[in-house]
Structure 1
């Protein structure tokens, strides 16, 4: 290791632990902070060069505000690995970090990365994206290994939205499998789901091609096809007749798609974006319709061209 870094990982859940292990295996000095841990946030942040946030969306703003009260190196790079939207402002996690730390580089890390598989050292790839290419390249070196391939990307918003929006489609995919609707239906759902993600992303200012990469299509395929995905499990169990309250009470970790869906509907109404799949998932989560009724609503929409040329 020619240039070891000191890395602070905020959040000791499965995802934070996986990323901590990757950096430590590359010879970097890694410190992990969690609310339940024994180390103070100040001690963990002392003289660090990289601060990676892997906390759930609900805690991002609070933790970012706490970090602000401690002295940091002006060269410190923030990395956000949270997938979600702020319910109050509809901001993404990187937008929150960048607003609070306007003079620091912020890098988004996102991809088809199921924590359990990474912990088992199965091959995987991810994307690190920033408006400052050199910052993304530093982070790329910290986490890359022969089992974990890291690509850089200049569209942080698109990379972040890919990882966030696919969680809503994953709930729909879980419903699809739970109702045993078949491979044709699942393929159609995931494809139209990707179209919906692109439409929302474009409205937000993200680049279309980003959504066809690892952090968009890649993450969508992983999350829509794996029982390891918490969002997929929410949909699958809703199709099996369980209530959302019951599902969330027994779920290990956070299904970010539930909150994301609510925030997305709010933004789609404000911006007048067509989000038919998101809308049915939202109504299902609200208990307004059954999984079968959601399917009927999607199948009985007006017929139209696939693309608006």
Structure 2
């Protein structure tokens, strides 16, 4: 492979080449040469020989490798775009080759558990905030990298791949990370905002997936826009309470990464989480749905984890609690909806 011109000074790395990883790699390749990491040698060969990845067209300035050391050596800025259930394993794989000079800006909308060896949600009595890691916290725990950021917002991969107008938020405690993210990604069709509340922005991307599953279920039941408006508005209140309890700022939830992403994923058949809810309402069971989905719907794990977290708090999150019953306890979607309609909400907005 000819790596001439692919040096640390100008080359950007993308870790993972799923639908969102491919879309971000193409955005980055508009300005810089890009190296993508894929574990599967066949996928690496496909990218380098045909500029395609599992049917997705890639820019000619994108080359691929399955060597973590090489991509870390050639790229100072890396964009991890991998599912939350594989994130810790991949960071452990990359950790020996990462240095304090690296920037990591992830695009993973999930949470992972920080529990003792042998413990998981099935055999612990409760979990607290200390047992929950966002992806930025996991990066800090697993590597020496400190300049960490995240991408979040209404960023449906298919629309990004079609170069339709969109925007995202780069969040980080480090202003230089935000500025680099904006410099690398901003274009005529893609606006990039900054936010210093990285935990809040990560939580926006994670928690809205819960409401997106519920929105898909409403659509699957054939209910109208009034019901959707009710769900989204009450869901927004629930997300803010959960987000505050987990360390996020209310400001982040009323911005692009919060309400912007929430509205998009609650109304799009392109959303994996929306699709899960839709199919549940049509009578399919969760195992069937998960088995034939190409990529992970992060909201499923988020519902399970957040519901366990609620047990150690005095918070009530009726949408999350009822969705848990639908996903894991064979509770009928229509029964969950009836419960929510009767839930005694007395005040519309009580968090401002």
Do they fold alike, i.e. is TM over 0.5? Answer: yes
Please list every run of 5 or more consecutive structure 2 residues that lacks an aligned counterpart in the other structure: 1-7, 45-64, 115-130
Report whether the alignment pairs 1:267 with 2:290: no
Alpha-carbon distance in structure 2 between the residues aligned to 1:20 and 1:68: 22
Contact 1:57–1:85 under 8 Å retained in 2: yes
Greater mean deviation of Cα atoms: 188-197 or 35-44: 35-44
Determine whether 1:75 maps to 2:79: no
Structure 1 position 204, deviation (Å): 1.6
Give the match for residue 148 of structure 1. Answer: 190
Two-structure CA RMSD over aligned residues (Å): 1.5
Q: 1:9 is matched with which residue? A: 14
Give 1:301's match in structure 2, choosing from 316, 324, 343.
Answer: 343
Query: What does 1:82-231 correspond to in 2, within 5 Å?
Result: 82-88=108-114, 89-231=131-273
Select the structure of larger CA radius of gyration: 2
Partner residue in 2 for 1:53: 80
CA shift, 1:288, in A, is: 3.2
The count of aligned residue pairs is 305
Q: Which runs of 5+ in 1 are unaligned?
A: none
Shift of 1:35: 1.6
Deviation of the 1:4 alpha carbon: 6.1
Q: Is the 8 A contact 1:7 1:49 kept in 2?
A: yes
Q: How far apart in 2 are the matches of 1:125 and 1:308?
A: 29
TM-score by length of 2: 0.83
Shift of 1:147: 1.0
Deviation at 1:108, TM superposition (A): 1.0
CA change 1:21–1:241 in 2 (3 A) is same
Could you tell me whether the CA contact under 8 Å between 1:56 and 1:82 is conserved in 2?
Answer: yes
TM-score computed with the length of structure 1 as normaliser: 0.95
Using the alignment, how far apart are the partners of 2:233 and 2:76 within structure 1?
40
2:27 is equivalent to residue 33 of structure 1: no
Q: Distance in 2 between matches of 1:110 and 1:308?
A: 26
The runs of at least 4 consecutive aligned structure 1 residues that moved more than 3 Å come to: none
